[in-house]
Amino acid sequence: MCMKSNIESFLDLVKERNGHEPEFLQAVEEVAETVIPYIIENDIYYGKNILLRMVEPERVITFRVCWVDDQGEIRVNRGYRIQMNSAIGPYKGGLRFHPTVNMSILKFLAFEQVFKNSLTTLPMGGGKGGSDFDPKGKSDNEIMRFCHAFMSELFRHIGHNTDVPAGDIGVGAREIGFLFGMYKKISNGFTGVLTGKGMSWGGSLIRPEATGYGTVYFAQKMLENKGDNFEGKNVVISGSGNVAQYAAEKVIQLGGKVLTLSDSSGYIYDAEGINIEKLAFVMQLKNEKRARISEYLEAYPNAEFIKGKTPWDIKCDIALPCATQNELNEEDANILLNNGCICVSEGANMPSTKDAITAFHKAKILFAPGKASNAGGVATSGLEMTQNSLRFNWTREEVDLKLKDIMSNIHDACIEYGKDEDGYIDYVKGANIAGFVKVADAMLAQGIV
């Protein structure tokens, strides 16, 4: 059978079972197209249905979450935890609270997480979870009641040696605090069951910064490999949450100029550049006031707010999509390319559509898929788990150095498996195969379980 029909028949089988899950199918297709040719070339993996086993979650948990709002009304949400693969360690992956959360989105995130966690070289399996709960506009008390209700069921499925959740969209330091509080109460134990904890109760320095910093460290490695760097580069960033904020901070520290930030209502464009002082204002706006990004203009009226749009039509050298999945399509990719963009490093998970990635590859620019470039977050979560087990805290400099090292190793692994005959580095292929090999070897060693 030829390569193409091998991939097609595999994807047909996955579609038959998961036809109503478009995001999950998108993530599987991207992996299958690069990993199946590798499996065919390597006898130890061939004929073992190893990828078919990987696309089936080890366990899927859904549960009811009832809570009472400030008006005394009873609300009902749906909670999820996808325990995707535990071949190389306890399930590990974030919790997302957003009204769009459904099985397809969480399965795509959990599947990506398996490869990403493997790339970090730390012993972590892959998982993901969350709820269709919308934290926007909720009071602190409502957030607390929801988090407590959510954990009152989730607690029986997780544990520091079983499954260690973290934050994601809509789940930051405040939510992790409430979730941890309830877990500790009902389990009667103080363990490192969640990461992203506060510094006084088991958190790691640099964890809040890690995903954004790591995304920029990865872009820096790609640029360095071409004899280039961030100095004087115009950088367009989407999102204004955790990942976007710290990606912006690191770009500024490395001498780049950040032109945009966004949220789901639109984007701000500051032609003079968003410097550290302006970024501190954004952090206060988003993290404390929980306001919209458009309020940036009240402090910096020279900037523009473009409602309901993504920032990809702003001319730039480097683009960092840091908001959400499928936020950068083929048309956006072509605009970026026509404007001379040389590098795209994904801070978010699967922000570029398949056609956008094809356009970047065709143009042979530097393109890093999220599972490689945003792995710094979960890697530092892994370092938080290690510090919890040791009951010891490393310094900021020590964690940052380890983060840089891990991003550099992921970059090298992508080169090892992703170099094309003409010398172009296909980071998608590199990340998928490097992530696959470690998990597949562990699964083969453990037998059919």
Interaction between residue 241 and ligand NDP (CB under 6 A)? yes
> Segment near ligand NDP (CB under 6 A), from 1-9, 298-306, 330-338, 346-354?
346-354
Interaction between residue 264 and ligand NDP (CB under 6 A)? yes
| Site mask for ligand NDP (CB under 6 A), range 221-240, x = bound | ------------------xx
State which residue, 347 or 418, has the beta carbon closest to ligand NDP.
Answer: 347
Interaction between residue 348 and ligand NDP (CB under 6 A)? yes
Interaction between residue 256 and ligand NDP (CB under 6 A)? no
Interaction between residue 339 and ligand NDP (CB under 6 A)? no
State which residue, 15 or 292, has the beta carbon closest to ligand NDP.
Answer: 292
Task: Return the residues of window 269-288 that contact ligand NDP according to CB under 6 A.
Answer: none
**Cβ 208 to ligand NDP, closest distance in Å?**
8
Interaction between residue 260 and ligand NDP (CB under 6 A)? no
Interaction between residue 168 and ligand NDP (CB under 6 A)? yes
State which residue, 234 or 349, has the beta carbon closest to ligand NDP.
Answer: 349
**Cβ 281 to ligand NDP, closest distance in Å?**
15
Interaction between residue 205 and ligand NDP (CB under 6 A)? no
**Cβ 329 to ligand NDP, closest distance in Å?**
13
> Segment near ligand NDP (CB under 6 A), from 32-40, 65-73, 297-305, 344-352?
344-352
Task: Return the residues of window 361-400 that contact ligand NDP according to CB under 6 A.
Answer: 374, 377
Q: Which of 128, 233, 257, 429 is catalytic?
A: 128
402 is catalytic: no
**Cβ 194 to ligand NDP, closest distance in Å?**
13
Dihedral of alpha carbons 243, 249, 253, 257, sign: positive
Binding interface with ligand NDP (CB under 6 A): 167-170, 172, 211, 239-244, 263-265, 322-324, 347-349, 374, 377
Active site residues: 128
